[in-house]
A and B are shown apart, each in its own frame.
Chain A
Amino acid sequence: QVQLQQSGPGLVEPSQTLSLTCAISGDRVSSISAAWNWVRQSPSRGLEWLGRTYFASSKWHSHYAVSVESRITIIPDTSKNQFSLHLNSVTPEDTAVYFCARLQWGSKYLDFWGHGTSITVSS
């Protein structure tokens, strides 16, 4: 059974960098059958896909939502079997619950999710 364990601070100051980690058990971050995603949820934006990373053709790939692409990085860590989200220059609009999730290639669905981390951007 795949499990995703999220960690990271719940409060971030404006203009700083939001960093979250998602530790994977039951699968490998380098799996060729999966992609690793971050999704956030807020009352104003609903559920919003932020980006993904995956290993294919002997290299890592990342793709990001246009709304955050100038500020976001998703980084895999094979030594710890985890991936992380870094969102810089945050504003109060980045206040949300952040989820990590696994996507299965093929039919492309998000089958396993982290528990969610509530992030508040405030001084």
Chain B
Amino acid sequence: IQMTQSPSSLSASVGDRVTITCRASQSISTYLSWYQQKPGKAPKLLIYAASSLRSGVTSTFSGSGSGTDFALTISSLQPDDFATYYCLQTNDLPWTFGQGTKVEMK
């Protein structure tokens, strides 16, 4: 299953609303999770089951979608949110990641 993530990068300011999308090449139900990665660090789980917020993750992050189309939204971008974000499908093997979206400061 191919995961097409967009955009590949975006520039935004603190306080902006940001949306990143992921499209699966076939239905993956809600077996979609979102990760944040900072340079030199492992990815960190933010959202699982498409829309469930991991405990301890700020509620400015939210996820939506099912089937083939998914979105990660940051309602109000904070300084700590500048990072690269990835989606991952775990519906079918091999599990596949999106190409990533780098969120940069405008």
9-residue interface stretch from B13-21, B64-72, B73-81, B87-95: B87-95
A108 lies within 8 A of B42 (CB): no
A108 lies within 8 A of B86 (CB): no
- In this assembly, does A103 line the interface, its C-beta being within 8 Å of a C-beta of chain B? yes
Is the contact region of chain B dominated by helix, strand, or loop, or is it mixed?
Answer: loop
Residues of B within 8 A of A111 (CB): 45, 48, 54
Chain A 43-84: CB-based contact to B (< 8 A → 1; otherwise 0): 000111100000000000001011000000000000000000
A22–B90 Cα gap in the complex (Å)? Answer: 21
Residues of B within 8 A of A65 (CB): 94
Residues of B within 8 A of A110 (CB): 33, 35, 43, 45, 88
Please report the total number of B residues contacting A with Cβ < 8 Å. Answer: 24
- In this assembly, does B61 line the interface, its C-beta being within 8 Å of a C-beta of chain A? no
Given contacts A47-B86, A103-B90, contact A109 B45 (CB under 8 A): yes
- In this assembly, does A99 line the interface, its C-beta being within 8 Å of a C-beta of chain B? yes
Interface residues on A, range: 10 to 19
User: Which single member of B35, B48, B97 contacts A49 (CB below 8 Å)?
Assistant: B97
Given contacts A47-B100, A109-B49, A110-B88, contact A99 B42 (CB under 8 A): yes
B42 lies within 8 A of A109 (CB): no
25 contacts between A and B (CB under 8 A): A46-B99, A46-B100, A47-B43, A47-B86, A47-B100, A48-B97, A49-B94, A49-B97, A65-B94, A66-B94, A99-B43, A103-B90, A107-B30, A107-B31, A107-B52, A108-B31, A109-B33, A109-B45, A109-B48, A109-B49, A110-B33, A110-B35, A110-B43, A113-B44, A115-B42
A residues touching B (Cβ–Cβ < 8 Å)? 46-49, 63, 65-66, 99, 101, 103, 107-111, 113-116
Complex A-B, nearest 9 residue pairs according to Cβ-Cβ distance, in ascending order: A109-B48, A113-B42, A108-B90, A47-B97, A107-B49, A109-B33, A49-B95, A65-B94, A107-B48
